[in-house]
Amino acid sequence: MAAVLPTADLAAHARPQDFEILSLAESLGAQVVGLDLSQPLNAQDFARIHRAHLDHHVLVFRDQRITPQQQVDFSRRFGPLQIHVLKNFLLAGNPEILVVSNILENGQPIGLGDAGHFWHSDLSYKEAPSLGSLLHAQELPAEGGDTLFANQHTAYDALPEALKERIAPLKAEHTYLAKYEELRARSPWRPKLTDEQVKEVQAVIHPVVRTHPETGRKALFVSEHFTTRIVGLAEDESQALLEELFALSEKPEHLYRHAWLPHDMVFWDNRSVMHLAAGTPDHLRRKLYRTTVEGDTPF
Protein backbone atom coordinates (compact mmCIF):
# COMPACT_ATOMS: atom_id res chain seq x y z
CA MET A 1 0.00 0.00 0.00
CA ALA A 2 1.42 3.41 -1.03
CA ALA A 3 2.28 5.87 1.72
CA VAL A 4 0.03 8.95 2.01
CA LEU A 5 2.10 12.06 1.29
CA PRO A 6 1.69 15.22 3.43
CA THR A 7 -0.01 18.16 1.71
CA ALA A 8 3.31 19.96 1.11
CA ASP A 9 4.77 16.87 -0.59
CA LEU A 10 1.64 16.42 -2.69
CA ALA A 11 1.93 20.03 -3.85
CA ALA A 12 5.57 19.53 -4.74
CA HIS A 13 4.60 16.62 -7.00
CA ALA A 14 1.42 18.23 -8.41
CA ARG A 15 1.00 18.64 -12.13
CA PRO A 16 0.27 22.06 -13.63
CA GLN A 17 -3.40 22.84 -14.21
CA ASP A 18 -4.89 24.71 -17.16
CA PHE A 19 -7.11 27.48 -15.80
CA GLU A 20 -8.15 31.05 -16.57
CA ILE A 21 -8.48 34.12 -14.34
CA LEU A 22 -11.14 36.48 -15.70
CA SER A 23 -12.11 39.87 -14.25
CA LEU A 24 -15.67 40.14 -12.97
CA ALA A 25 -16.03 43.89 -12.38
CA GLU A 26 -14.04 47.06 -12.81
CA SER A 27 -13.95 47.71 -9.07
CA LEU A 28 -12.75 44.28 -7.91
CA GLY A 29 -13.27 40.56 -8.34
CA ALA A 30 -12.14 37.81 -10.72
CA GLN A 31 -13.34 34.30 -11.43
CA VAL A 32 -11.02 31.32 -11.65
CA VAL A 33 -12.28 28.87 -14.26
CA GLY A 34 -10.91 25.39 -14.90
CA LEU A 35 -9.01 24.94 -11.64
CA ASP A 36 -9.67 21.83 -9.52
CA LEU A 37 -8.97 22.50 -5.84
CA SER A 38 -9.54 18.86 -4.98
CA GLN A 39 -6.02 18.44 -6.37
CA PRO A 40 -2.95 20.03 -4.73
CA LEU A 41 -1.55 23.06 -6.57
CA ASN A 42 2.08 23.16 -7.60
CA ALA A 43 4.18 26.18 -6.65
CA GLN A 44 3.68 27.97 -9.97
CA ASP A 45 -0.11 27.61 -9.97
CA PHE A 46 -0.32 28.63 -6.31
CA ALA A 47 1.84 31.71 -6.99
CA ARG A 48 -0.50 32.68 -9.83
CA ILE A 49 -3.54 32.38 -7.53
CA HIS A 50 -1.77 34.34 -4.81
CA ARG A 51 -0.93 37.16 -7.25
CA ALA A 52 -4.50 37.23 -8.59
CA HIS A 53 -5.84 37.48 -5.03
CA LEU A 54 -3.68 40.54 -4.39
CA ASP A 55 -4.64 42.12 -7.72
CA HIS A 56 -8.40 41.44 -7.65
CA HIS A 57 -9.07 41.17 -3.86
CA VAL A 58 -11.95 38.72 -4.42
CA LEU A 59 -11.49 35.42 -6.25
CA VAL A 60 -14.41 33.20 -7.26
CA PHE A 61 -13.37 29.58 -7.81
CA ARG A 62 -16.07 28.03 -9.98
CA ASP A 63 -17.48 24.51 -9.62
CA GLN A 64 -15.38 23.32 -6.68
CA ARG A 65 -16.50 19.81 -5.69
CA ILE A 66 -14.26 19.58 -2.68
CA THR A 67 -14.53 18.10 0.80
CA PRO A 68 -14.32 20.19 3.97
CA GLN A 69 -10.81 18.83 4.56
CA GLN A 70 -9.74 19.87 1.08
CA GLN A 71 -11.04 23.37 1.77
CA VAL A 72 -9.04 23.43 5.00
CA ASP A 73 -5.90 22.17 3.25
CA PHE A 74 -6.11 24.81 0.50
CA SER A 75 -6.85 27.58 3.02
CA ARG A 76 -3.81 26.62 5.09
CA ARG A 77 -1.55 27.29 2.11
CA PHE A 78 -2.09 30.99 2.92
CA GLY A 79 -1.43 30.76 6.66
CA PRO A 80 -2.73 29.45 10.00
CA LEU A 81 -6.51 29.24 10.33
CA GLN A 82 -8.52 31.10 12.94
CA ILE A 83 -11.26 29.39 14.96
CA HIS A 84 -14.48 31.36 15.40
CA VAL A 85 -15.65 32.27 18.90
CA LEU A 86 -19.10 30.67 18.33
CA LYS A 87 -17.93 27.09 18.83
CA ASN A 88 -21.46 25.67 18.49
CA PHE A 89 -21.40 26.47 14.76
CA LEU A 90 -18.09 24.81 13.95
CA LEU A 91 -18.28 21.85 11.60
CA ALA A 92 -18.01 18.49 13.36
CA GLY A 93 -14.67 16.94 12.49
CA ASN A 94 -13.35 20.18 10.98
CA PRO A 95 -13.42 22.88 13.66
CA GLU A 96 -11.54 25.23 11.32
CA ILE A 97 -14.82 25.57 9.39
CA LEU A 98 -17.62 27.87 10.51
CA VAL A 99 -21.03 26.80 9.19
CA VAL A 100 -22.88 29.81 7.75
CA SER A 101 -26.52 28.81 7.40
CA ASN A 102 -30.11 29.84 8.07
CA ILE A 103 -31.24 26.21 8.36
CA LEU A 104 -32.96 24.97 11.51
CA GLU A 105 -32.95 21.28 12.40
CA ASN A 106 -35.24 20.15 15.24
CA GLY A 107 -35.82 23.81 15.96
CA GLN A 108 -32.12 24.54 16.41
CA PRO A 109 -29.83 26.48 14.04
CA ILE A 110 -27.06 24.42 12.41
CA GLY A 111 -24.99 27.49 11.55
CA LEU A 112 -24.64 31.24 11.88
CA GLY A 113 -27.66 32.49 9.97
CA ASP A 114 -27.16 36.24 10.29
CA ALA A 115 -23.47 36.35 9.37
CA GLY A 116 -22.68 39.46 7.35
CA HIS A 117 -25.77 41.42 8.41
CA PHE A 118 -23.64 44.61 8.60
CA TRP A 119 -20.66 45.71 6.49
CA HIS A 120 -17.44 44.39 8.02
CA SER A 121 -14.00 42.89 7.60
CA ASP A 122 -13.81 39.44 9.22
CA LEU A 123 -12.20 39.32 12.65
CA SER A 124 -11.10 42.96 12.60
CA TYR A 125 -11.78 42.74 16.35
CA LYS A 126 -8.66 40.54 16.79
CA GLU A 127 -5.10 41.77 17.47
CA ALA A 128 -4.15 39.90 14.28
CA PRO A 129 -7.26 40.20 12.07
CA SER A 130 -7.94 37.88 9.18
CA LEU A 131 -5.82 37.84 6.02
CA GLY A 132 -8.77 36.45 4.12
CA SER A 133 -11.84 34.24 4.24
CA LEU A 134 -12.91 31.37 2.00
CA LEU A 135 -16.62 30.59 1.70
CA HIS A 136 -17.74 27.42 -0.09
CA ALA A 137 -21.35 26.99 -1.23
CA GLN A 138 -23.04 23.81 0.02
CA GLU A 139 -26.72 24.63 -0.47
CA LEU A 140 -28.02 27.75 -2.20
CA PRO A 141 -31.48 29.38 -2.23
CA ALA A 142 -33.45 29.76 -5.46
CA GLU A 143 -33.42 33.54 -4.87
CA GLY A 144 -31.44 35.94 -2.73
CA GLY A 145 -28.28 35.05 -0.86
CA ASP A 146 -25.95 37.43 -2.74
CA THR A 147 -22.79 38.78 -1.10
CA LEU A 148 -21.55 42.33 -1.67
CA PHE A 149 -17.89 43.32 -1.51
CA ALA A 150 -16.48 46.86 -1.18
CA ASN A 151 -12.96 47.76 -2.29
CA GLN A 152 -11.39 49.74 0.55
CA HIS A 153 -8.31 50.70 -1.48
CA THR A 154 -10.37 52.61 -4.02
CA ALA A 155 -12.58 53.96 -1.23
CA TYR A 156 -9.49 55.43 0.41
CA ASP A 157 -8.04 56.69 -2.88
CA ALA A 158 -11.27 58.60 -3.60
CA LEU A 159 -11.28 60.50 -0.31
CA PRO A 160 -10.69 64.27 -0.42
CA GLU A 161 -7.07 65.11 0.43
CA ALA A 162 -8.13 67.06 3.53
CA LEU A 163 -9.98 64.01 4.87
CA LYS A 164 -7.00 61.75 4.14
CA GLU A 165 -4.79 64.09 6.15
CA ARG A 166 -7.29 64.22 9.00
CA ILE A 167 -7.61 60.46 9.40
CA ALA A 168 -3.97 59.52 8.70
CA PRO A 169 -2.89 59.49 12.38
CA LEU A 170 -6.16 58.23 13.84
CA LYS A 171 -6.89 54.89 15.47
CA ALA A 172 -10.24 53.21 16.14
CA GLU A 173 -11.65 50.63 18.50
CA HIS A 174 -13.00 47.34 17.11
CA THR A 175 -15.06 44.90 19.13
CA TYR A 176 -17.06 41.77 18.31
CA LEU A 177 -19.58 42.86 20.94
CA ALA A 178 -20.46 46.14 19.18
CA LYS A 179 -23.77 44.92 17.73
CA TYR A 180 -23.96 41.47 19.30
CA GLU A 181 -26.93 42.15 21.57
CA GLU A 182 -28.78 43.94 18.78
CA LEU A 183 -28.39 40.87 16.57
CA ARG A 184 -29.17 38.51 19.44
CA ALA A 185 -32.49 40.24 20.09
CA ARG A 186 -33.73 39.60 16.56
CA SER A 187 -32.48 36.10 15.70
CA PRO A 188 -31.93 32.58 17.07
CA TRP A 189 -28.29 32.48 15.94
CA ARG A 190 -26.60 34.48 18.70
CA PRO A 191 -26.32 32.56 21.98
CA LYS A 192 -25.43 34.34 25.19
CA LEU A 193 -21.64 34.42 25.33
CA THR A 194 -19.83 32.76 28.20
CA ASP A 195 -17.28 34.68 30.25
CA GLU A 196 -14.56 32.73 28.44
CA GLN A 197 -15.94 33.75 25.04
CA VAL A 198 -16.13 37.40 26.09
CA LYS A 199 -12.44 37.24 27.11
CA GLU A 200 -11.68 35.84 23.66
CA VAL A 201 -13.08 38.95 21.94
CA GLN A 202 -11.70 41.83 23.99
CA ALA A 203 -11.74 45.19 22.19
CA VAL A 204 -8.66 46.12 20.16
CA ILE A 205 -7.30 49.31 18.62
CA HIS A 206 -6.30 49.51 14.94
CA PRO A 207 -5.37 52.36 12.56
CA VAL A 208 -8.25 53.93 10.64
CA VAL A 209 -6.11 53.65 7.51
CA ARG A 210 -4.13 50.44 7.22
CA THR A 211 -1.28 49.59 4.85
CA HIS A 212 -1.56 46.29 3.03
CA PRO A 213 1.42 44.21 4.22
CA GLU A 214 2.00 42.62 0.80
CA THR A 215 1.24 45.41 -1.68
CA GLY A 216 1.84 48.56 0.37
CA ARG A 217 -1.49 50.07 -0.70
CA LYS A 218 -3.53 52.05 1.82
CA ALA A 219 -7.11 51.11 2.67
CA LEU A 220 -9.85 52.28 4.99
CA PHE A 221 -10.14 49.92 7.95
CA VAL A 222 -13.37 50.77 9.77
CA SER A 223 -16.75 49.07 9.57
CA GLU A 224 -20.28 49.60 10.83
CA HIS A 225 -20.33 46.14 12.43
CA PHE A 226 -17.20 46.17 14.57
CA THR A 227 -15.84 49.75 14.81
CA THR A 228 -17.23 51.60 17.81
CA ARG A 229 -15.23 54.82 18.20
CA ILE A 230 -12.28 56.90 17.06
CA VAL A 231 -9.71 57.04 19.84
CA GLY A 232 -9.12 60.51 21.26
CA LEU A 233 -12.19 62.19 19.76
CA ALA A 234 -15.30 63.34 21.60
CA GLU A 235 -18.22 60.93 21.21
CA ASP A 236 -20.23 63.14 18.85
CA GLU A 237 -17.19 63.95 16.68
CA SER A 238 -16.17 60.29 16.61
CA GLN A 239 -19.60 59.09 15.52
CA ALA A 240 -19.94 61.82 12.88
CA LEU A 241 -16.57 60.91 11.37
CA LEU A 242 -17.32 57.18 11.42
CA GLU A 243 -20.68 57.71 9.73
CA GLU A 244 -18.97 59.79 7.05
CA LEU A 245 -16.34 57.11 6.44
CA PHE A 246 -18.91 54.29 6.41
CA ALA A 247 -20.92 56.11 3.73
CA LEU A 248 -17.85 56.78 1.59
CA SER A 249 -16.58 53.20 1.95
CA GLU A 250 -19.82 51.69 0.61
CA LYS A 251 -20.36 53.83 -2.51
CA PRO A 252 -21.54 51.88 -5.58
CA GLU A 253 -18.39 52.48 -7.60
CA HIS A 254 -16.38 50.46 -5.06
CA LEU A 255 -18.70 47.41 -5.07
CA TYR A 256 -18.90 43.96 -6.59
CA ARG A 257 -22.09 41.94 -6.00
CA HIS A 258 -21.61 38.19 -6.10
CA ALA A 259 -24.56 36.05 -7.20
CA TRP A 260 -23.65 32.55 -6.08
CA LEU A 261 -23.56 29.55 -8.40
CA PRO A 262 -23.53 25.93 -7.18
CA HIS A 263 -20.15 24.86 -5.75
CA ASP A 264 -18.65 28.38 -5.89
CA MET A 265 -15.86 29.05 -3.42
CA VAL A 266 -15.11 32.72 -2.86
CA PHE A 267 -11.80 33.88 -1.35
CA TRP A 268 -11.64 37.55 -0.32
CA ASP A 269 -8.91 39.69 1.19
CA ASN A 270 -10.05 41.10 4.53
CA ARG A 271 -7.16 43.58 4.43
CA SER A 272 -8.54 45.33 1.37
CA VAL A 273 -12.31 44.69 1.25
CA MET A 274 -15.41 44.67 3.42
CA HIS A 275 -18.41 42.48 2.71
CA LEU A 276 -22.13 42.33 3.39
CA ALA A 277 -24.76 39.60 3.09
CA ALA A 278 -27.67 40.82 0.95
CA GLY A 279 -30.08 38.48 2.75
CA THR A 280 -31.99 35.27 2.04
CA PRO A 281 -35.77 34.77 2.24
CA ASP A 282 -36.56 32.98 5.51
CA HIS A 283 -38.28 30.04 3.81
CA LEU A 284 -35.30 29.20 1.56
CA ARG A 285 -32.33 27.15 2.73
CA ARG A 286 -28.74 28.42 2.51
CA LYS A 287 -25.58 26.72 3.80
CA LEU A 288 -21.92 27.56 3.23
CA TYR A 289 -18.62 26.57 4.87
CA ARG A 290 -16.15 29.31 5.89
CA THR A 291 -12.47 29.08 6.68
CA THR A 292 -10.58 32.14 7.88
CA VAL A 293 -6.84 32.69 7.45
CA GLU A 294 -4.98 34.59 10.15
CA GLY A 295 -3.28 37.81 9.12
CA ASP A 296 -0.98 40.20 10.95
CA THR A 297 -1.31 43.27 13.15
CA PRO A 298 -2.51 46.24 11.04
CA PHE A 299 -0.15 49.16 10.56
Q: Please identify every residue annotated as catalytic.
A: 120, 122, 275, 290
- Give per-residue burial for 116-126: e unless 16+ CB within 10 Å, then b: bbbbbbbbbbb
Sheet strands side by side (includes 204-207): 204-207, 171-174, 227-230
Question: Is residue 299 within 8 Å of 127, Cβ to Cβ?
Answer: no
Residues 6+ apart with CB under 8 A from 161: none
Class of residue 243 by CB neighbours under 10 A (exposed 0-12, middle 13-18, buried 19+): exposed
Task: Return the closest-CA partner of residue 53 out of 76, 30, 27, 22.
Answer: 30
DSSP string over 137-189:
EEE--SS---EEEEEHHHHHHTS-HHHHHHHTT-EEEE-TTTTHHHHHHH-SS
Strand partners, 260: none
User: Residue 279: enclosing H or E segment and its boundaries?
Assistant: none
Sequence length of the chain is 299
List the helix and strand counts (H, then E) for the chain: 8, 18
The C-alpha atoms of residue 177 and residue 33 are separated, in whole angstroms, by 39
Dihedral (CA of 261, 269, 79, 177) sign: negative
Sheet strands side by side (includes 273-277): 255-258, 147-151, 273-277
